[in-house]
């Protein structure tokens, strides 16, 4: 996502150059107020469904799916942190970061912490798949759900520590000022560093490099490298494990041995073949995810470093900003298209939900039918009481008849 210093460059108070007036009005009046709502709704549904599928019992057996579960949970939290800020800013003219100093610090911290955590999780998924396709036997020991959970926790601690200076140091300040409109003095919160301080230099110069390295450059390099390795290795394994039937000459000519025609077929361990096929499927699912991440990230990096008027051009800023959010909302559809395992578990989940709703509906209809027909389900004790009452009434009726 596009950041300026450590503040998101999404404020309606951004200076507007005359030549950007028309496009800025489109961005401020139509794009910024409406697009976050759509992204938040789509992202919420997509990420929650992904989390449900990836945390199912059958999916938790794979390390990559554990990483994906953490990734979608992180993306969901990041969407709410960023989209809430934008929606309040442009729809209600409320800057979330200026409500109070603690909210300013927490919001800035979470924005960086979650974005770095999300990018590094994608890196770990790529590394996990490279290990699985390069070292088939070692992968059974290294690519396990327990290790995936431990590594995810370590990455979370690392990124938390890396961005914790926003919570500890003066990442914002408050100032008592006179409000001429209300004719009173108020405490205004400024969610930025104090100009001229050492910490201001660290945030505006040093942290900018650290942020882009963690969010873009390092993930870009790792994911691109891993994608190339995966594609090459999968192609090699496909040739290696391609079983061919023995030639007719081998079957009919007794003089020719199987060893002489061994290049025509490959005998492999069924368990190894099954593991290899599953590994290739998981690896190929990752390739589109990596490609989309790189596609959505490239415009952000180019705009930040090559387009010096980005902060003044609200339309371009909105486009590159929402491109970075696309990566958090469309992944569900990539999983569904590329992974047969994901589709299978998702359809199972829908089937379970449908059966549960159907059973609840049947039980409800049964209950209503019973009530309408005055059917009472009683215990043995109440039956005895009812029978005793009926017998008493019969005796009384007989005595009345005799009299």
**212-225 residue pLDDT tens:** 999 999 999 999 99
Residue 293 has pLDDT above 80, yes or no: yes
Distances in Å between the alpha carbon of 324 and those of 51, 82, 272, 297, 304?
20, 11, 39, 6, 13
Q: What is the pLDDT of residue 163?
A: 97
Q: How far apart are CA 293 and CA 290, in angstroms?
A: 5
Place 285 in a pLDDT band, splitting at 50, 70 and 90.
confident
Q: Which domains are seen in the chain, by residue range?
A: 3-167+211-358 (1.20.1070.10)
Q: Tokens 């560093």 appear where?
A: 193
Q: What is the pLDDT of residue 101?
A: 94
Q: What is the pLDDT of residue 384?
A: 44
**Percent of the chain residues topping a pLDDT of 90:** 54
- Paired strand residues for 187: 176
Q: Are 149 and 124 in contact (CB under 8 A)?
A: no
Place 2 in a pLDDT band, splitting at 50, 70 and 90.
low
Find the radius of gyration of the CA atoms of the chain.
32
How does pLDDT run across 178-203, given as a tens digit for each residue? 888 888 888 899 999 999 999 999 99
Q: What does the pLDDT average to over 138-161?
A: 94
pTM above 0.85, yes or no: no
Distances in Å between the alpha carbon of 118 and those of 15, 154, 159, 351?
32, 13, 10, 31
Contacts 24+ apart (CB under 8 A), 87-96: 87/33, 87/36, 87/37, 87/40, 89/10, 89/11, 89/12, 89/32, 90/10, 90/12, 90/28, 90/32, 90/33, 90/36, 91/33, 93/12, 95/11, 95/191
Q: What does the pLDDT average to over 145-150?
A: 96
Residue 93 has pLDDT above 50, yes or no: yes
Q: What does the pLDDT average to over 167-180?
A: 90
Residue 273 has pLDDT above 60, yes or no: no
């Amino acid at each position: 996502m596009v950041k300026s210093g450590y503040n998101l460059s999404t404020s309606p108070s951004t200076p507007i150059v005359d030549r950007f007036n028309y496009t800025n009005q489109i961005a401020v009046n139509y794009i910024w107020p409406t697009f976050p709502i759509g992204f938040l709704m789509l992202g919420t549904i997509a990420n929650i469904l992904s989390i449900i599928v990836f945390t199912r019992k059958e999916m938790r057996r794979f390390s990559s799916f554990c990483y994906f579960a953490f990734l979608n949970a992180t993306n969901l939290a990041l969407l709410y942190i960023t989209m809430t800020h934008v929606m309040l800013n442009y729809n209600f003219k409320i800057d979330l970061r200026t409500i109070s100093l603690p909210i300013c610090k927490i919001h800035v911290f979470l924005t960086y912490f979650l974005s770095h955590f999300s990018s590094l999780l994608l890196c770990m998924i790529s590394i996990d798949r490279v290990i699985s396709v390069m070292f088939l036997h070692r992968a059974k020991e290294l690519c396990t759900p327990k290790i995936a959970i431990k590594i995810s926790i370590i990455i979370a601690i690392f990124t938390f520590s890396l961005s914790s200076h926003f919570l500890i140091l003066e990442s914002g300040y408050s100032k008592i000022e006179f409000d001429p409109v209300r004719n009173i003095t108020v405490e205004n919160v400024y969610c930025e560093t104090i100009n001229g301080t050492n910490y201001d230099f660290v945030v505006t110069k040093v942290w900018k490099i650290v942020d882009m390295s963690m969010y873009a450059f390092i993930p870009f390099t790792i994911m691109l490298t891993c994608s190339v390795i995966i594609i090459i290795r999968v192609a090699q394994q496909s040739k290696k494990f391609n079983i061919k039937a023995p030639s007719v000459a081998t079957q009919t000519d007794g003089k020719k041995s199987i060893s002489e025609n061994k290049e025509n077929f490959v005998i492999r361990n069924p368990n190894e073949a099954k593991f290899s096929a599953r590994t290739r499927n998981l690896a190929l699912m990752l390739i589109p995810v990596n490609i989309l991440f790189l596609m959505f990230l490239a415009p952000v990096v180019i705009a930040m470093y090559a387009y010096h008027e980005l902060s003044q051009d609200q339309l371009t800023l909105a486009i590159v900003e929402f491109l970075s959010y696309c990566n958090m909302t469309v992944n569900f559809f990539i999983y569904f298209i590329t992974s047969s395992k994901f589709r299978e578990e998702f359809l199972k989940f829908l089937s379970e939900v449908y059966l549960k709703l159907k059973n609840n509906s049947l039980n409800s209809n049964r209950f209503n039918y019973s009530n309408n027909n005055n059917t009472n389900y009683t215990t043995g004790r109440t039956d005895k009481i009812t029978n005793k009452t009926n017998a008493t009434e019969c005796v009384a009726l007989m005595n009345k008849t005799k009299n």
